[in-house]
Structure 1
Amino acid sequence: RPLTLANVNGKVIVIFPVDQLIPLSLSLLPASVKTPTPTPAGDTYKGWVFKWTNYIKGYQRRWFVLSNGLLSYYRTQAEMGHTCRGTINLATATIAVDDACNFVISNGGAQTYHLKASCEVERQRWITALELAKAKAARMQAESDDSGDDFSPSSASVPPGQGGGTQNSEVQSTLRTLGSKVEDLSTCNDLISKHGSALQRSLSELDSLRLTGEAGDKIRQVTERATLFRITSNAMINACRDFLALAQAHSKRWQKALQAEREQRVRLEETLEQLAKQHNHLERAFRGAAQANTAADSKGKSLSKGEASDEDDDNEFFDAMEEAPEFITVPSYVPCYKPNYSLNLWSIMKNCIGKELSKIPMPVNFNEPISMLQRLSEDLEYHELLDKAAKCQNSLEQLCYVAAFSVSSYSTTVHRTGKPFNPLLGETYELDRRRESGYRSLCEQVSHHPPAAAHHVISDRGWTLRQEITVASKFRGKYLSIMPLGTIHAIFEKGNNHYTWKKVTTTVHNIIVGKLWIDQSGEIDVVNHTTGDRCHLKFVPYSYFSRDVARKVTGVVMDKDGKAHYVLSGTWDEKMEFSRVMQSSRGGENGTEGKQKTVYQTLKAREVWRRNPLPEGAETIYFFTDLALTLNEPEEGVAPTDSRRRPDQRLMEDGRWDEANVEKQRLEEKQRSVRREREREAASQRTSSQSEEGAPHDNYKALWFERCEDRITGEQVHIYKGGYWEAKERGSWEACPDIF
């Protein structure tokens, strides 16, 4: 509906409002801009063809796919979704016929396929399809060379399985969208220029009429505004033209770079998988040789720890079970038996190489039915070591017990290849063992990125334990590294001794092939900040070529002057002993890295810690200890944010894995939605004077812990501010967020 319709000197003047001109202009867009042209079905050709492999195997049957000018092959049809064995771009390839059934495709470089069809008719079908695809690919490449625009869907396509499934489809979808938007921008650019010129001509004609009075003033006012608008529009049009020229000039280069990255990634994945298999075979061969040598050297003796028989590969790297004690207490509540649920770990992990795993959503199939907060609470498995340390009169002997406690927390991990659930922000876990063991423990997830959990334990037997742990994890191809960051504090009332230490790196081996196994490695210092005493502990990484016992841990307790008083030795999965040093001297032989060895003369060793035996049938219940079996048992009166109330974790424990996965996705999306809302509120409230470097992205504050600077380490940490146990006694949980 026109805004104005007038007849001036025989000319009809029609003025439309802007909101009607825009849809009118868009209605003139060509159909190719509105709706991208789909790829014709005839451009894809698939079938079985025999491919020459080598002189030993000769021709082997392979599944070939011709699509969008690319010829790719796979060993089977099932491989199309994940593993492409090779690809040739037909745009630059030559196609030659050998005889009735044979033909050769080569790109002039290292890629040459010698192929054989099942019959002459089938060969001719392939030749026809290949020639048509080659002609189309060459034509598109020529057009791309002329225009520089390589954003079309066909030129961006790659064969199935080359580039990583969902990630590849997302890239292709993005490229198609960008291509469509660039075309829309080009069309709108032309329309703005065309309509702007027409509008200016019409206004100039109006101005030439030399109307007087109010109409003339209005026309002059409109003309002035139109002139200003045209100046601004011309600037935008010029910027759009420059953008289009730049995008068109560089798009082809970007496409080629992206294609090269995809191809290199596929080659690296295949090489990595092959190397892992070869490594696994070498490991088995070496263990077999080591076993034979051991049997020959010490006939009738059992295998040393860490060695394994080739006939029973399931037992590699693990110790035999200790003999069960006379009485074993098994809790009445145990989790659901772990189902034999097959899952291709490599199919998921291959896309995570070098990435931070905490940001990658994982199905519950990799989990065990407890959260990271509950796993952190398992550090208290051997709390009696701290009870004994609290009774010590000598701070150096007390340090031995604290060091043994720092080692004991790893004993529960030896078989635990399952991943604990990542806690939701604000999730808590309480472990009240005051009546039985004299302590109360509280954990809270205080940060999501990076994920961090704060832990506080208070004991009636004279000690306090606190820590804030952030876990960084990286997948390195054959193994997974888990690096806990943060400091652990143990404070004793007697003597006011304050100890700190950090955790070592956990490595999960055989991610691709073989049996998963866990190792702990690194060095830590347990420091008494009150006296200056310290214990240097070394977790020796496992090596097939070492004669040392597997999972070995050694340590030396020294006073503030560096004099050694105790030597610790043992393994992180079985036991630790300590011996009093009577005399020390420098050895004549050089140790590792050219350092002299120190020889300690000690008294007879005393056992300070020994691992508790696992419950019967532990392999069917995630290798949980007696304590771990009770961690998820429902309890009355806990906070609504407690891990025991987490629905996806409970569903998994009940064996309903599919429902657990759905529930896990719901909880994660709910958490993301709440975080986005919190960030919006923080952005609206934050001013330049309030912003600080390193400040959190949102205004989230933990409920039971307060962020402050640690007076011992100087780190920014969360320390328990109190109130949880009082709230539990009152049954008052109004301050708890709704996270489940």
Structure 2
Amino acid sequence: MMNSQGVNQGEMAHTCRGTINLFTAHFDTEDSCGIVLTSGGRTYHLKAGSEVERQQWIAALELAKAKAVRLMGSQSDDSGDDEDGTASPADKSELHDTIKKLSLKLDDLSTCNELVAKHGVALQRSLSELDGLRIPCESGEKLKAVNERATLFRITSNAMINACRDFLELAETHSRKWQRALQYEQEQRVHLEETIEQLAKQHNSLERAFRSAPGRAANPTKSFSEGSLLTTKGEDSEEDEDTEYFDAMEDSTSFITVITEPKEDRKAENRTTGSVEWTSDNVLDSTSLVPQGPPKVKRRVRIPDKPSYSLNLWSIMKNCIGRELSKIPMPVNFNEPLSMLQRLTEDLEYHHLLDKAVHCTSSVEQMCLVAAFSVSSYSTTVHRIAKPFNPMLGETFELDRLDDMGLRSLCEQVSHHPPSAAHYVFSKHGWSLWQEITISSKFRGKYLSIMPLGAIHLEFQASGNHYVWRKSTSTVHNIIVGKLWIDQTGDVEIVNHKTKDRCQLKFLPYSYFSKEVARKVTGVVSDSQGKAHYVLSGSWDEQMECAKIVQSSPSSPSLDGKQKTVYQTLPAKLMWKKYPLPDNAENMYYFSELALTLNEHEEGVAPTDSRLRPDQRLMEKGHWDEANMEKQRLEEKQRVNRRRRLEACSRGCGAEEAEKEAEVYVPLWFEKRLDPVTGETACVYKGGYWEAKEKQDWHMCPNIF
């Protein structure tokens, strides 16, 4: 009629005649062998064959009742009536089944623990009563009670021990399976990560191949849309098909821009804030982006093809993780035949943007062109994954292009550790630019971070507008495995310190899982009152456009609670577009037309000019073995010069100050000054170079080559 097994919740809910619900049952002892069980208003009197058998039944019934209580409380449909636990359904995993079994065994242990505690207290009470007896005739009954409780305690303890044994056996049986399963999942995760990384590389490669494919449409408007600089609504949208939206930027510069017809917006705006006509269409007109007329001096259009040399990068880089890259002795195999001074000069490739900006009557329009110029300096880096030569201390590079570019540029390496270069540019069109850039680079194992430190200054003489900004962070990916590729990330703020106009640029990092196109740049130009005038968008390797804002309003908060600003604008105008690379560029380090001319031999330059650096010249000619030997010679010569400065300083000052003073180098053409705009100390051109060149008097130049 009855056994030690409980019933599941389903059976409790639909009982049949004669069923005893252990969830509400209560049982007690009647005599030495009798059991009284009360359930649902009914009482059952049961009799065991012996006292020991009665105690076994009581222990089993208490265990079964505890299971019934757990099942009703958990609201679970799983069966719990087997002491070993019930088997999982066939569609559940072995791991889930084992965990459930162990959980049931753990519950059994908990129940047995409660029973041991309960009966242990009763046993102690009986023993205390036995100790307090004074009448010998009562000792027989008390001893009998002690024996009964000791028997019950022993049975419960045995049940607990058996449950522990079963638990340990199950744990030992399945521990190896769990370890193998965990190891397999870890290996699968690593394999999945590698697969995703490889897919990202292939996606990036296909995207670049598409961008460089011949016959691709050159229509600026079409390119603007294809590049996802604006995200067009789908064909099934109820919105106007000509309406386009900017993807929102994050943080304070989040916005959505609606492109509308000029005439309608001008009418709408005239009723409120007045005219929104472009004031300098001739300046921002895309038809005059490229300078007209051939250069007066014919310059070279190619260099020797890059030779094929194999070298294990990991053998060199594996011990250099976390170190400053400039302190790692690198062979020329990883270089390009240009110095960092020449790379810095390449920032001037799209100087015509500043020449146009001179004629702007509006400072916010001028800011648009300055912002486009700041972005254009990254366009040469998209395929330029080779490392430029780290200049020797005192090395210089001049770019004397007054005839064809209308400017003169001078760079000097003013520090070696950390590597720092000072740069000054004068343009006959009415602007000047200066900067001191310190390159901080760290090898992180899978990628290389390059952080240019220092401010860039640009001043227009006629208006006095003084712009200051800083460069973004460059990251070279796949240093060890895969094809190298470079990305620009971070926020760049351009400030006009005269008018307090500002431009916030955001370089979006590339992500395989992002809907954004690679190398995307967005920005907003605002005046001193914080009113936005222009929206900028494009990509740092291709083009930049600006759209004039005619109205702005806050949008409804998104699901994540972020507020965006909706800008209603006129159609965008193309400000800058990258020049196509020369033919055979892939075999010439992906140099642009300007870069190909920078290391061209030129008469009259200073003896410290990068064009005269022997290891760089040998590398350009394809003699890499000789270039490596020459590079070692130059670096050793530089170390000898540093030791000489150290010895000279130690004679004139204390030994403790000698090491510090040895690093203090006095530049030849630049001097340290406190900048009143930024409050920073930086090297500024002090004059004399072009006068020395005209006289061909270079006696003051150090012998560094």
Provide the secondary structure at the position in 2 that maps to 1:500: strand
SS of residue matched to 2:608: coil
Q: Is 1:605 the equivalent of 2:572?
A: yes
**Aligned counterpart, 2:483:** 515
Structure 1 residues 277 and 678: alpha-carbon distance in aligned structure 2, compared to 1, 3 A threshold: farther
Conserved in 1, the CA contact under 8 Å of 2:642 and 2:662? no
> Which stretch shifts more, 582-591 or 328-337?
328-337
Q: How far is 1:695 from its partner?
A: 6.7
Q: Letter of the aligned partner of 2:324 in structure 1?
A: E
Alignment of 1:308 with 2:206, yes or no, is: yes
User: Unaligned stretches of 5+ in structure 1?
Assistant: 1-272, 292-305, 310-314
Which position in structure 1 is the counterpart of 2:92?
A: none
Give the direction of change, closer, same or farther, for the CA distance of 1:274–1:377 in structure 2 (3 Å limit).
farther
Q: How does 1:378-393 map to 2 (within 5 A)?
A: 378-393=346-361
Which deviates the most, 409-418 or 339-348? 339-348
User: Cα gap change, 1:403/1:476 in structure 2, threshold over 3 Å: closer, same or farther?
Assistant: same
Paired position in structure 1 for 2:197: 283
Question: Displacement of 1:340 after TM fit?
Answer: 1.6
After superposition, give the CA deviation of every residue in 1:688-717 in whole Å (9 maximum; x if it has no partner). 9x979x975444200000011111111111
Alpha-carbon distance in 2 for matches of 1:590, 1:631 = 51
TM score, norm. by length of structure 2: 0.60
Matches of 1:618 and 1:522 in 2, distance apart? 29
Query: What does 1:263-342 correspond to in 2, within 5 Å?
Result: 279-285=193-199, 306=204, 308=206, 315=208, 320=213, 331-332=299-300, 334-342=302-310
Structure 2 residue 357 is matched with structure 1 residue 459 = no
**Amino acid of the structure 1 residue aligned with 2:535:** V
Alignment of 1:644-663 (within 5 A): 644-663=611-630
Match of 1:541 among 499, 509, 523: 509
2:264 matched to 1:350? Answer: no
Which amino acid in structure 2 is aligned with residue 426 of structure 1? Answer: G
Would you say the 8 A contact 2:325–2:443 is kept in 1? yes
Structure 1: which amino acid aligns with 2:554?
Answer: R
1:683 CA drift (Å): 2.6
Q: Aligned letter for 1:703?
A: L
Is it true that 1:489 corresponds to 2:457 in the alignment? yes
| DSSP-derived class of the 1:495 partner | coil
- Return the offset for 1:505: 0.6
Identity %: 63
The one-character-per-residue Cα deviations of 1:58-97 (angstroms, maximum 9, x if unpaired) are: xxxxxxxxxxxxxxxxxxxxxxxxxxxxxxxxxxxxxxxx
Contact preservation (8 Å) 1:280, 1:514: no
- Output the CA distance in 2 between the equivalents of 1:616 and 1:368: 18
1:358-407: per-residue Cα shift (whole Å, max 9, x none)?
11110000000010000000000100011011111111100000000000
- Contact 2:410/2:424 (<8 A) preserved: yes
* Equivalent of 2:592 in 625, 628, 638: 625
424, 427, 432: which is aligned to 2:400?
432
Is the contact made by 2:521 and 2:538 (CA closer than 8 Å) also made in structure 1? yes
Alpha-carbon shift at residue 286 of structure 1 (Å): 6.2
Measured against aligned partners, the alpha-carbon deviations of 1:610-637 in whole angstroms (never above 9, x if no partner) come to 0000001100000000000000000000
CA change 1:541–1:566 in 2 (3 A) is same
Can you list the C-alpha shifts for 1:647-677, whole angstroms capped at 9, x where unaligned? 0000111111011000000000100110111
Report how far residue 334 of structure 1 moved: 2.5
Letter in 1 for 2:457: H
Whether the aligned pair in 2 keeps the contact of 1:333 and 1:633 (CA below 8 Å) is no
- Displacement of 1:331: 4.2
Give 1:528 deviation, angstroms: 0.3
Indicate the SS of the match to 1:382.
coil
Q: Measure the CA separation in 1 of the matches of 2:388 and 2:206.
A: 28
Partner of 1:209: none
Partner of 1:179 in structure 2? Answer: none
Shift of 1:339: 1.0
Q: Matched residues in 2 for 1:452 and 1:410: separation?
A: 19
Residues 88-108 of structure 1: CA deviation (Å, up to 9, x unaligned): xxxxxxxxxxxxxxxxxxxxx
Mapped contact 1:277–1:513 kept (Cα < 8 A): no
C-alpha deviation, 1:328, in angstroms: 10
The structural deviation recorded for 1:433 is: 0.6
Contact 2:537–2:545 (CA under 8 A) maintained in structure 1 = yes
The CA distance in 2 between the partners of 1:711 and 1:644, in whole Å, is 35
SS at the partner of 1:635?
A: coil
Q: Please report how far the alpha carbon of residue 307 of structure 1 lies from its aligned counterpart in structure 2 after TM superposition.
A: 7.1
Q: Is the 8 A contact 1:682 1:698 kept in 2?
A: no
1:441–1:579 distance in 2 versus 1, CA, 3 Å: same
Pairing of 1:195-594 with structure 2 (within 5 A): 279-285=193-199, 306=204, 308=206, 315=208, 320=213, 331-332=299-300, 334-590=302-558, 594=561
* SS of the residue 1:282 aligns to: helix
Cα deviation 1:315-363 (Å, max 9, x = unaligned): 5796546679999999435222111211212221221111110111100
**Secondary structure in 1 aligned to 2:412?**
strand
> Which residue in 1 is equivalent to 2:671?
706
- Cα distance in structure 2, aligned partners of 1:513 and 1:317: 23
How far apart in 1 are the matches of 2:429 and 2:687? 19
Asked whether the equivalents of residues 546 and 573 of structure 2 are also in contact (C-alpha less than 8 Å), the reply is yes
- The match for 2:609 among 642, 657, 672 is 642
Higher relative contact order (CA 8 A, sep 6+): 2
Task: Give per-residue Cα distances to partners, 1:440-472, cap 9 Å, x unaligned.
Answer: 000000001111000000000000000000011
The DSSP-based 3-state class of the residue aligned with 2:576 is strand
Aligned residue for 1:170? none
CA distance, structure 2, for counterparts of residue 608 and residue 668 of structure 1: 43
Contact 2:503 2:524 in 1 (8 A): yes
Q: Partners of 2:652 and 2:197 in 1: how far apart?
A: 59
State whether residues 499 and 528 of structure 1, in contact with CA within 8 Å, keep that contact through their aligned partners in structure 2: yes
Structure 2: unaligned runs, 5 residues or longer: 1-186, 219-289
* Superposition deviation, residue 589 in structure 1: 3.1
1:734 is matched with 699
Shift of 1:477: 1.2
Q: Which amino acid aligns with 1:676?
A: R
Which residue does the alignment assign to 2:689? 724
Name the amino acid aligned to 1:660: A
What SS class does the counterpart of residue 639 from structure 1 fall into? coil
CA distance in 2: counterparts of 1:625 and 1:318, whole angstroms: 17
Kept in 1, the 8 Å contact 2:450–2:475? The answer is: yes
| Map 1:679-690 → 2, pairs under 5 A | 679-686=646-653
CA distances 1:232-271 after superposition (whole Å, capped 9, x unpaired): xxxxxxxxxxxxxxxxxxxxxxxxxxxxxxxxxxxxxxxx
Give the 3-state SS of the residue equivalent to 2:437 in structure 1.
strand
Q: Compared with structure 1, are the counterparts of its residues 461 and 349 closer, same or farther at alpha carbon in structure 2 (3 Å cutoff)?
A: same
Whichever residue aligns with residue 650 of structure 1, its letter is: R
1:35-66 deviation digits (Å, cap 9, x = unpaired) = xxxxxxxxxxxxxxxxxxxxxxxxxxxxxxxx
Match of 1:596, SS?
Answer: coil
Count of residues in correspondence between the two structures: 445
CA RMSD of aligned residues (A): 2.8
Question: SS of 2:515's equivalent?
Answer: coil
Residue type of the alignment partner of 1:608: M
CA distance in structure 2 between the partners assigned to 1:277 and 1:456 by the alignment: 51
The separation in 1 between residues aligned to 2:210 and 2:493, in whole angstroms, is 27
| Counterpart AA for 1:478 | K
2: distance between equivalents of 1:426 and 1:729?
A: 20
Kept in 2, the 8 Å contact 1:678–1:700? The answer is: no
Distance 1:739 1:287, change over 3 A: closer
Structure 1 residue 281: deviation in Å?
A: 2.4
Q: Distance in 1 between matches of 2:191 and 2:352?
A: 44
The answer to whether structure 1 residue 664 and structure 2 residue 664 are counterparts is no
**8 Å CA contact 1:438, 1:461 repeated in 2:** yes
Letter in 1 for 2:586: E
Deviates more, 1:344-353 or 1:514-523: 344-353
Alpha-carbon distance in 1 for matches of 2:409, 2:471: 19
